């Protein structure tokens, strides 16, 4: 379970940029080369975890775990 994160610079928005892994439906050519995404997110296969880097959406600082 994710713990609360906070900005070390004191920003109060509590919104962060973090990486998630998702599946997409693509339109491809006859050998599987990408043409365009049909669906931006069909399923989340890995949501951001505490081990990932979370960056403050206001100032860009790397978030720390709140105590």
Any idea where the domains of the chain sit in the sequence?
5-65
pTM above 0.85, yes or no: no
Measured CA to CA, the distance from residue 2 to residue 53 in angstroms comes to 13
Given a cut of 80, is residue 2 above it in pLDDT? no
pLDDT digits (tens, 9 = 90+) for 42-55: 999 999 999 999 99
**CB 54: neighbour CB atoms within 10 A?**
22
pLDDT band, very low/low/confident/very high, at 66 (cuts 50, 70, 90): confident
Residue 23 · residue 43 · CB < 8 Å? yes
pLDDT band, very low/low/confident/very high, at 67 (cuts 50, 70, 90): confident
pLDDT digits (tens, 9 = 90+) for 4-41: 999 999 999 999 999 999 999 999 999 999 999 999 99
């Amino acid at each position: 379970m994710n713990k609360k994160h906070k900005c070390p610079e004191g920003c109060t928005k509590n919104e962060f940029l973090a990486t998630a892994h998702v599946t997409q439906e693509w339109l491809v050519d006859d050998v599987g080369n990408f043409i365009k995404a049909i669906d931006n997110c069909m399923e989340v296969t890995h949501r951001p975890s505490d081990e990932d880097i979370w960056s403050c959406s206001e100032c860009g600082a790397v978030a720390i775990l709140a105590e």
